[in-house]
Amino acid sequence: MELPFGFDFISSTAGFDIGWSIIPYEPTMSYGRVYLVGIFNTLILSALIILFATISGFVVGIIRLSRNFLLSQCARWYVEFIRNIPLLIQIIFWFIVVFSTLPPPKESYHLLDIFFLNNRGFYFPSPVFESNASWTLITTLIAGIGSFILIKKSRAYRKLSGNRLAALYPTLLALLSVIIIVFIATGTPLHWKIPTLQGFNFQDGYFFPTAFAAAFVSMTIYRSATIGEMVRAGIQSIDRGQLEAAAAIGFSPFKTLRLIIVPQAARAILPPLINIWLTILKESSLAVAIGFPELVSVFIQTSLNQTGRAIEIVMMVMFFYMCTSLLISFVMNRYNKRIQMQEG
Amino acid sequence: MDNQQKKHGALLKFVPRPDRPPITITYGPVGWLKKNLFGNLWNSLLTITVFFLLFLLLKPFLEWTLFKAVWSASTRRECLSISPDGACWAGIFPWVNNLLYGLYPDALQWRVNLAFAIGLLWFVPLALKKVQQKILFALMGVMLFPFLANYLFLGGDRSSVHYIVACSALAYLLTLYINIILTYLNGKRLEQHLETFMERFSKKRAALLGHSTIWFFLTVVIAYVFKDQALEHVGVDAWGGLFLTLIISGVSIVMALPIGIILALGRRSEMPIIKWFSISTIEVVRSVPMITVLFMSVTMLPLFFPNTMELNKLVQVLVAVCLFAGAYMAETVRGGLQAISRGQYDAAKSLGLGYWRTMIFIILPQALRIMIPNIVTSFISLFKDTTLVSIIGLFDIMLMARNISIDKNWLGLHTEPLVAISVLFFVFCYSMSEYSQRLEKKLNTNR
């Protein structure tokens, strides 16, 4: 099997089907398209995991610091159990034991007849935009930019005069009302398509396959434990004196949290949090073990087996992960530099 | 005074202050409960809710794992007929052997046990107080033991060099233990007994000469004793289970440290080629998922070797895992190197030490000491990550556990094996992390 090195295979027809993709895909499309499908599937999976794991991680971290012994011990053992069991075992456990044993579509679990969960996946309504919807979009954009400028101005004003000028809530209110007025004036151009059972399967709406759901749930849980531990360490790293000082000058608990704890904890938490986000992006490739069509699965496994272009394909996949990792770390490091303590 | 008291006598009538509230008990079990669980209304409500939720959650779990579980049955059908909603642990027992050793022949498993026992013996003295030169024999263990282990695991016709190195490893361990016993008996090591005799040949290095003579002598004896003992060949394909998981994690843990140190030093080097090579290796490997490194090794490595040469999958996986672990270790070591103050370098320089001596005797011991907890943490994550090799088809404990559900007696038995190996991993990883935390505390108090 001697193949010349080259990327000419990208434009040739792939010919195999992919179980699930967010961008449209047909087997007649090229390997380049397969690459894109893999990238987008990986990105949506890791973006959702990052979002939910960060939120639940903060919840776990705060529960861990609760003064209630029972509650904090629950959080502690949750963290210990989750992070000491390999992720791959957890992914496969969720896929085989939980999501594959769900009932068939006809008997699926449902919430208000809008969301459905069965052994094919998770079904939810999809938005349908009519042609007028673009007006609402434009208004939202303009209002967003306007409010951003206003908030900046008010901050500058506060720095100069020392007086607080309420900006956030009025702007948000104005922004929302403008958007709603435009939305109604153009004739409510948004509808929801609710999934309905037709024959043996659901029609309309969007769905996530069970492999996606299993990968999402298991990785969110796994990373919520690690992020929780990090948040705990970050909050505990704040000197007790800071809290006492805040109490001494008469700050309320909420004000202490907002102005003393959060800004300082954020400095300690953000750098490791960025690292974990990058890890999540890389880790989402483990979904290959349960057959979710993400980049490694569609490209390194299927496409490589069909074309035999080992070097090119592995290089392309690595290139994607490298670029994305570097991009995320670049953006987040700039943000990190801004919020870190500026001495002198 | 007296007058004043008389004047104000009417005003100075004794009025008792109101009683203080009773002291809240803050000691003993009652005080603990009050403080931690039922401090105020909100706290008590929270405690009761959590307790209730925990009960709801744990009751079915305990019922499934213990009270309704089936411990002996011959097939899954039998399990289900005895107790349909309990765990079927009976399915695990016939597979325990496979989970531990993979497809390693039953009759030859003593070799694996022996090798692991020897490996343990090698590292027991590290915990003994009176033993000296711990670093030296740990290093010798890391260098010699793999040959011995490989000889025992693989068997078959190995080259004579391999045989002799394996024998010398055994001999070294033997001298080590003789020395330990002698140290505890009369405080004199073996070579010190021989010192007077050896001083005839070389005054300066008598001890070293004595030690190596005994070592050489024992090697010859062992090689002679075992020369007719042929070990049956067991191919790498038959290795599996926990045994394989431990091999992969063991090799990568041992290799990660030297690779990591070299890359970390390279990254701080002033020679541009070495520096940029190290930086690009570390950054590329760290920014891609481990699974792609594994795939790269499995699909690309054969392309760089002639067709006639057959690489076995285990070696390819080991290369990938070592590279991966090394790159991560490099960043850990770099963290330690950065924590060493400039003064240490200057002091070493003013003593006239060169680069390597500065690094080996001054900087690295301090840097590694600081980073020990972090190193243990990365070992734990490495140990967990070895399960990924099941994706590319090596029969480690994970894939073995999943294979139970294909066994025709235990068809569809998915949950129990996964839970069983989860418990195993939890015990391993949790004890390691507890150990590292204790180590961290100990190191902090020593400083």
What is residue B415's predicted lDDT score, i.e. its pLDDT? Answer: 83
CB atoms B295 and A67 under 8 Å: no
Average pLDDT of chain A? 81
Q: Which of B53, B288, B433 is the mutation pick for testing A, counting most A CBs within 10 A?
A: B288
B119 contact partners, CB below 8 Å, separation of at least 6:
B145, B149
pLDDT, average across residues B389-395: 84
Residue B308 pLDDT more than 70? no
3-state secondary structure chain B: CHHHHHHCCCCCCCCCCCCCCCCCCCCHHHHHHHHHCCCCHHHHHHHHHHHHHHHHHHHHHHHHHHHCCECCCCCHHHHHHHCCCCCEHHHCHHHHHHHHHECCCHHHHHHHHHHHHHHHHHHHHHHCCCCCCHHHHHHHHHHHHHHHHHHHHHCCCCCHHHHHHHHHHHHHHHHHHHHHHHHHHHCCCHHHHHHHHHCCCCCCCHHHHHHHHHHHHHHHHHHHHCCCCCCCCCCHHHECHHHHHHHHHHHHHHHHHHHHHHHHHHHCCCCHHHHHHHHHHHHHHHHCCHHHHHHHHHHHHHHHCCCCCCCCHHHHHHHHHHHHHHHHHHHHHHHHHHCCCHHHHHHHHHCCCCHHHHHHHHHHHHHHHHHHHHHHHHHHHHHHHHHHHHCCCCCEHHHHHHHHHHCCCCCCCCHHHHHHHHHHHHHHHHHHHHHHHHHHHHHHHHC
Residue with tokens 């079915």: B60
B-chain CB neighbours of A306 within 8 Å are none
Contact A194, A204 (CB under 8 A): yes
Of A18-27, B2-11, B393-402, the least confident:
B2-11
Q: Which of residues 269-328 of A touch B (CB under 8 A)?
A: 278, 282-283, 285-286, 288-289, 296, 300, 304, 310-311, 314, 317-318, 321-322, 325-326
The domain ranges of chain A are 126-193
pLDDT, average across residues A31-51: 88
Instruction: Indicate the Cα dihedral angle B173, B178, B184, B186, nearest 10°.
Output: -150
CB atoms B36 and A84 under 8 Å: no
Contact B212, B73 (CB under 8 A): no
Q: How confident is the model at residue A187 (pLDDT cuts 50, 70, 90)?
A: low
Say if strands A121-124 and A196-198 run parallel, antiparallel, or are unpaired: unpaired
pLDDT, average across residues A35-53: 90
A39 touches B at CB < 8 Å: no
pLDDT, average across residues B404-423: 83
Residue with tokens 């003013």: B350
Backbone angles phi, psi at A122, to 5 degrees: -110, 120
For A2, the 3-state DSSP assignment is: coil
The domain ranges of chain B are 28-91, 105-233, 239-447
Tens of pLDDT, residues A205-245:
777 888 888 999 999 999 999 999 898 888 888 888 888 89
Q: B272 vs chain A: nearest CA distance in angstroms?
A: 22
CB atoms A296 and B433 under 8 Å: no
Q: B289 vs chain A: nearest CA distance in angstroms?
A: 5
Give the number of other Cβ atoms within 10 Å of residue B433's Cβ.
18
Q: How confident is the model at residue B106 (pLDDT cuts 50, 70, 90)?
A: confident
Tens of pLDDT, residues A111-150:
777 777 777 778 777 777 766 777 777 887 887 888 788 7
What is residue B136's predicted lDDT score, i.e. its pLDDT? Answer: 74
Phi-psi map region of A302: left, alpha, beta (phi>0 left; psi -120 to 50 alpha): alpha
Give dist(CA B260, CA B174) in Å, integer. 31
Residues B111-128, buried b or exposed e (16+ Cβ, 10 A)? bbeebeebbeebeebeee
Instruction: Please tell me the number of Cα atoms within 13 Å of A157 on its side-chain side.
Output: 11
Structure-block tokens of residue A73: 């011990």
Average pLDDT of chain B? 80
Longest CA–CA separation in chain B, Å: 121
Residue B1 pLDDT more than 50? no
Tens of pLDDT, residues A62-92:
888 887 888 888 889 999 999 899 999 999 9
Q: Could you report the predicted ipTM of this complex, rounded to two decimals?
A: 0.81
Q: A77 vs chain B: nearest CA distance in angstroms?
A: 11
Helix pair angle (B415-446, B364-385), 10° resolution: 170
pLDDT, average across residues B181-201: 69
B-chain CB neighbours of A325 within 8 Å are 287-288
CB atoms A321 and B291 under 8 Å: no
The larger pLDDT score, comparing residue A140 to residue A282, is at A282
Nearest-CB residue to A86 (from B300, B387, B430): B387
- Given this structure, which CATH class describes domain B239-447? mainly alpha
Give dist(CA A270, CA A338) in Å, integer. 11
CB atoms B429 and A84 under 8 Å: yes
A-chain CB neighbours of B436 within 8 Å are none
A84 touches B at CB < 8 Å: yes
Nearest-CB residue to A288 (from B47, B291, B384): B291
pLDDT, average across residues A251-258: 83
Partners of residue A25 on adjacent β-strands: none
pLDDT, average across residues B242-262: 88
A-chain CB neighbours of B422 within 8 Å are 85, 89, 93
What is residue A56's predicted lDDT score, i.e. its pLDDT? Answer: 93
- Give chain B's contact residues with A (Cβ, < 8 Å): 36-37, 39, 43, 46-47, 50-51, 54, 283-284, 287-292, 295-296, 299-300, 303, 380, 384-385, 387-388, 390-391, 398, 402, 414-415, 418, 421-422, 425-426, 429-430, 433
CB atoms A286 and B296 under 8 Å: no
Contact A21, A40 (CB under 8 A): yes
A-chain CB neighbours of B437 within 8 Å are none
CB atoms B39 and A325 under 8 Å: no
What is residue A344's predicted lDDT score, i.e. its pLDDT? Answer: 42
Give dist(CA B100, CA B94) in Å, integer. 12
CB atoms A296 and B54 under 8 Å: no
> DSSP label at A309?
-
**Segment holding A200, helix H or strand E:** none
Q: B245 vs chain A: nearest CA distance in angstroms?
A: 12
CB atoms B288 and A74 under 8 Å: no
Residue type, A134: S
Q: A288 vs chain B: nearest CA distance in angstroms?
A: 8
CB atoms A310 and B303 under 8 Å: yes
Q: B52 vs chain A: nearest CA distance in angstroms?
A: 11
Nearest-CB residue to B289 (from A71, A86, A285): A285
Residue of A nearest to B392 (CA): A289
CB atoms A84 and B430 under 8 Å: yes
